[in-house]
Structure 1
């Protein structure tokens, strides 16, 4: 099975026959350790340091179907190199576009994404409520917002309710993590404290994981339903990420902080920004990869599937809805 590789250090990536050669640079910018990645072993690359590569290398990656996702120093996602859209199908493209342009059809899908997100984050809160954390007020408020989803006339109103749900949810975080961390308010550009830095980094990993799975289906990643399509982003990945962030990102945050896999000393304040040190980023990536590979017993398929495969199954369910084969129902955790 192909794997995801994470490149944290500055370096150069080049082709060596049918192998990828990665040469890391040291602090002086001089070539250091060389690693070889068998191309048939690589699913995609996540690049967190500066990377030297030429067009010949990207041509090679494109032919091999290998995507490259780029992040800047502050852990912001900046873009992706995606191989040629080899699976796009004209009929599905037409249906996906029509579901976006039709207000009636779009609101159905947009509402489903918010419902799935709200259900899964409520699952997180109820887990901790059952273990003595007082989050009953937040649960009640979120349930009220969920009840109002059916009255939202369009995607912007749904986004407003989704924002209220998230804000209420974040208000409970201070009771779910050690006292060393205070959430305050959600800040992204830039993240102002440790919890916000962790959340931004985890959300970008989730977004990229969703984008990678969309790429291996016939869906067009630029046409979305909850988030407004943009000229420079793959907005359908944002829609899918809403469903999976409570399971892949929020639970990761609770784990690494409560188990002290990451400590306050793993963060650094830099020019009004809070960022993770490289060692902490590697820890988050390791836990995130473990989570993607973790399997559950799927109720409908009657077999074990990984969280990574759950994202692809979500794409297939969305495809069936667009082709009017089966109504889309967002993934909802049952454990």
Structure 2
């Protein structure tokens, strides 16, 4: 099975015959790059994608090679913000699917139906997380009731902005539960740019990881990532990834955060607090990425397929379900946790 590789250190990535060679570097005081470790050789057949968190030097020849081998590269800046991706050529894109996506987007009724479903799935999975901890001694009944009260309004809303408003209200209530679920850390409200504390730093970083996973899954289907239904399509962003990630953030990101903090695998020493901004330090980042990757590899018994599938594959299955809906083959039903 192909693997995801995470590049935390600055370095150079280059082709070496039919392998990839990564050489770590570090900057001296004059901004020059000095070799800081032994090169590592990676068999190209073993690689699915790269996540790049440090400065990376590469040339167009390398990216041509990565494109031929179907290897994606996702980039994050110093502040842990997702900045973009190199994606292999869109060999799976089809004119039929683009027309179908566009047609549904332009049809107000059909777009609203899909927007409702994304929020319905996201809200359900958020309440599932709250219910899980509610049965473990956390008093979350009131928050669950408020979320259900908001989601009960979804069938009566006929504007995407109103549906987005419900999603925002649901998530605001859901985040209040974090302070009750977490033992030693406090969220103290959602803050994004910049995150003000450790919990917000983890949410922001984890959501970016989830977003890029959804983008990769979309790219492996015939869907076009720039045509979305809940989030308004905009220039220079893959807004369909944002739609799908709403469903999976509670499953892939939040559960990992709860585990790492409550089991004290992540502590205050794994964060840097500077200028009203909190970020994971390199060690903390590696701990979170390892746990996130393990979560993606976990399997569940799929109800319809009658076999075990990984969480990573569940994201791709969601894209296939959406494709069938857009082509009029099968009504889309958002993924909902049943355990």
Superposition TM-score tier, normalisation by shorter sequence? over 0.9
Match of 2:158 in 1: 153
2:322 counterpart residue number: 318
Q: Does 1:288 align with 2:292?
A: yes
> What is the DSSP-based 3-state SS (H/G/I as helix, E as strand, rest coil) of the residue aligned with 1:150?
helix
1:236 to 233, 240, 246: 240
The farther-off stretch of 27-36 and 38-47 is: 27-36
Equivalent in the alignment of 2:218? 214
For residue 111 of structure 2, the aligned residue among 97, 100, 106 is 106
Alignment deviations for residues 146-169 of structure 1 (CA, whole Å, 9 cap, x no partner):
101112212111111000000000
* Equivalent residues, number: 334
Computed over aligned residues only, the root mean square deviation of the Cα atoms, in angstroms, reads 0.9
Taking structure 1 as the reference length, the TM-score comes to: 0.98
| 2:277 equivalent in structure 1 | 273
Instruction: Render the CA deviation track for 1:264-312: whole Å, top value 9, x for unaligned.
Output: 1111112221000111111111111111110000001100000011001
1:37 aligns with 2:57: no
Deviation readout 1:238-265 (Å, 9 max, x if unpaired): 1110000001000001000000010011
Q: 1:121 aligns with which of 116, 122, 126?
A: 126
Aligned residue number for residue 19 of structure 2: 19
Matches of 1:133 and 1:216, distance apart in 2: 40
CA positional deviation for 1:26? 3.2
Match of 2:66 in 1: 61
User: Is 2:191 aligned against 1:197?
Assistant: no
In structure 2, the residue corresponding to 1:30 is in which secondary structure? strand
Larger mean CA deviation between 22-31 and 196-205 belongs to 22-31
The residue that corresponds to 1:329 in the other structure is 333
| In structure 1, distance between residues paired with 2:108 and 2:194 | 34
Runs of 4+ in 1 over 4 A off after TM superposition: none
- How many Å separate the matches in 1 of 2:307 and 2:208? 29
Aligned to 2:256: 252
Question: What is the distance in 2 between the residues matched to 1:304 and 1:172?
Answer: 31
The 3-state SS of whatever aligns with 2:120 is helix
SS at match of 1:218: coil
> What CA deviation, in whole Å up to 9, does each residue of 1:156-195 have, x standing for no partner?
111110000000000111110023x221121111111100
Distance 1:108 1:116 in 2: 12
CA distance in 2, matches of 1:271, 1:104: 46
- The yes-or-no answer on 1:5 pairing with 2:5 is yes
Residue number in structure 2 paired with 1:88: 93
Q: Counterparts of 1:203 and 1:227 in 2: how far apart (Å)?
A: 15
- Greater CA drift, 25-34 or 155-164: 25-34
Correspondence for 1:187 among 187, 191, 208: 191
SS in 2 for 1:330: coil
Query: Residue 87 of structure 1 aligns to a residue in which SS?
Result: coil
Q: Structure 2 regions of 5+ residues with no counterpart? A: none
Distance in 2 between the 1:27 and 1:261 partners? 30
Q: What TM-score comes out, normalization by structure 2 length?
A: 0.97
- 2-side partners of 1:33 and 1:187: how far apart? 40
- The CA deviation at 1:27 is 5.1
